[in-house]
Structure 1
Amino acid sequence: MRTIYRKWSEYPYPGEQEPPKGSAAPGYWSMFFIEKGTNGQFLDLSGRVITWSIKHPNTVNWGSELALLEQTLHAQTNQHIQIAKYWGTGEVAAKMNSLAYSLAEAYRYGSPETARMTAYLNAAIHDTCVITWMLKYKWDVARPNQYGHSLPTVLFTPRFPSYPSAHATISGCAEAVLTYFFPAYSARIQEIVREAALSRFYAGVHFQADNDEGLRLGRQIGNIALRELGAGQT
């Protein structure tokens, strides 16, 4: 399929002469809950073909996405900047694990329950990273700073393709798993996850579509993992 959007591997970042280079290696790692089939298909552990819950980038209006981002960045608030910096400092997977441990303490989990919960959480996040990196490099969508506009970004732009946002996919996955184990805190978990994804938009390093579609994809992968517990959505 011919792409109708700007590619990450073809445009330099501001102040640079050559397009960025990254590593697609995580997209080829083996997974815990997902298997690679033939002809580019992916299967769950029951052998069912997975159709990913994410729009093809050809269907996204990237011009409108850029305009929305520019408008937001030029009307940035201190709260938005604080959110961007908080979630941009350290790894989002580590922050989701910190959340998981605090919830386990609130639920008075013992060591066996905590180990089981974190095993499912981190195996699901691992698979989410694999699929995210596979799609990032397959689709090769440019970052906002590659459109020749002077964007007042809050953080540096990562050196890998934009779509989907890894912050969003990891957060969406964590939401699915953590709301299963800790249903009494579902509303709070969802609030935290939305903020984590939105932080990348506030930082100026992702489009809104990167986040919205990333959350959908991450939730799907989290539920694929939960099916092994007999608890996920089918």
Structure 2
Amino acid sequence: MQKQVFWLGLGLFVAWMGVSLAQAKSWIATPSPALERSLSQLPQTPYTPLEWATLDELERLELLAVQTQMLNPPRTARALALLSVAANDTLAALAQRPGADANVAVAAAAREVMLYLHPTFPNFKDAVRGAARDFYQAAAQAGASPQSLLASSETGRQIGMQVVAFARKDGANRQVIPEYPKAAPGVWELTLGYTAVEPGWGNLVPIGISNAQLARATPPPAWDSPEFAQDRAAFWQKQQQLTDRDKAIADKWAGDGGTVTPAGLWQEAVVAMLKDRQVGAEGAVAVLTPLNIAMHNAFIACWRDKFAYYVARPNQWVKTLDPKWAPYLRTPKFPAYPSGHSTISGAAATVLSALLPDAAATFAAMAKEASDSRIGAGIHWFLDGSGGLDLGERVGQQVLEAGGVVHAGN
């Protein structure tokens, strides 16, 4: 098992209430001589907390890169998770120490992670370096001492380097050529001339737990079973009754390359909610970090099971009924079960409902809408959605347990 993740705790909820935030604990970074050296250089001056302006700019830059480079949904979720962990672990290392400037430190950590994530994007790399420099200079103009600035920046750099070191070994850049099963009814077929999307993603190292411990989807029913026959009939009936609202929801959650993808949609919605509730930036990091970790881990679990069950997409079956039919949205190049949108949304709703329990109904409705959107889009069976939501809920619970997050009433 990876390094144990410690208590995040009830302070997440009281932070929303406008009280104090319990000290964050690290997900990836660990003490090192270099990190301890930089922390020891902090002067005895007031702590400068993280501000929303810093968090907003870092999120803006990363989502811009995601869209410009057309990262696919699993890679986007990974990027957001690594960036959140860098911010979280930096705040944990600083622990509101006198002399620390959290804006300078978090920006330095994020710089290292984003430069790693987007190595072939020169303009973006310049923007990331420029943002970190701007936060450094703004702190200097506000009266921070050179000693505080140097120590804060080096602390963030050390944390960022540790997160990057983890990422370099998580398997995201490992090429995998799957052995596809023989063609048969109900077995997914890759269109000739195309490559599957991230067939090895299920082998990645999750954050907070090991791959072997990661929750697994409930096996789907057999293709020739009455249960799957009923599901196919329900899908076809739905396709004959698509409404404008169904199509609008499908478009809303589509999240293809060139967008912020589903993980980005969840993050944007939660950021807006936290700001509306006047949660501070450090409290927001404490919410966004387990959220993004859960979505990243959920994609790993989902992709592992997609390429284990190889369930056919609806278009393969419908062409035997109506060769002229086409799904509302383009069918992705990977197997159907379980649904990726459903899995990450189930994970997101589970984590967020534990951290912000008064909004649990809102998160559950968002997850259900995201799941249903793929059925209306014509690219998933109903059972893909229900199986994904169930898997995501269990992945989300694993993240909560790994972080020691407790419900506000417990």
State the TM-score, normalized to the length of structure 2.
0.49
Flag structure 2 segments of 5+ consecutive residues without an equivalent: 1-182
Is the Cα contact below 8 Å between 2:346 and 2:393 reproduced in 1? yes
Cα separation, partners in 2 of 1:32 and 1:152, compared to 1, 3 Å:
same
Q: Which of 227, 230, 234 matches 2:404?
A: 230
What does 1:24-173 correspond to in 2, within 5 Å?
Answer: 24-36=199-211, 42-43=212-213, 52=216, 54-58=218-222, 61-89=227-255, 90=259, 91-147=261-317, 148=319, 149-150=321-322, 151-173=325-347
Is the Cα contact below 8 Å between 1:83 and 1:199 reproduced in 2? yes
Separation (CA, whole Å) in 1 of partners of 2:253 and 2:295: 17
- Structure 2 counterpart of 1:214: 388
Cα deviation code 1:159-214 (max 9, x no counterpart): 11000000000100000111112112111111111111000000100000000110
Q: How far off its partner does 1:220 sit?
A: 0.6
Counterpart AA for 1:191: A
Say how many residue pairs are matched.
Answer: 215
Counterpart AA for 1:224: Q
Q: How far off its partner does 1:92 sit?
A: 0.9
Q: Single out whichever of 217-226 and 75-84 deviates more from structure 2.
A: 75-84
Separation (CA, whole Å) in 1 of partners of 2:194 and 2:339: 17
Separation (CA, whole Å) in 2 of partners of 1:220 and 1:202: 25
Q: Which of 3, 8, 11 matches 2:188?
A: 8
Structure with higher Rg: it is: 2
Counterpart AA for 1:67: A
Separation (CA, whole Å) in 1 of partners of 2:308 and 2:265: 28
Q: How far off its partner does 1:118 sit?
A: 1.0
Structure with higher RCO (Cα < 8 A, 6+ apart): 1
Q: Sequence identity, in percent? A: 27
Cα separation, partners in 2 of 1:179 and 1:224, compared to 1, 3 Å:
same
Separation (CA, whole Å) in 2 of partners of 1:187 and 1:203: 24
Is the Cα contact below 8 Å between 1:143 and 1:162 reproduced in 2? yes
Cα deviation code 1:35-57 (max 9, x no counterpart): 13xxxxx226xxxxx5x352344
Cα separation, partners in 2 of 1:115 and 1:107, compared to 1, 3 Å:
same
Flag structure 1 segments of 5+ consecutive residues without an equivalent: 13-17, 37-41, 45-49
Matched, 1:202 2:202: no
* 3-state SS, counterpart of residue 159 of structure 1: coil
Q: How far off its partner does 1:157 sit?
A: 0.4
Is the Cα contact below 8 Å between 2:208 and 2:399 reproduced in 1? yes
* 3-state SS, counterpart of residue 400 of structure 2: helix
Cα separation, partners in 2 of 1:176 and 1:225, compared to 1, 3 Å:
same
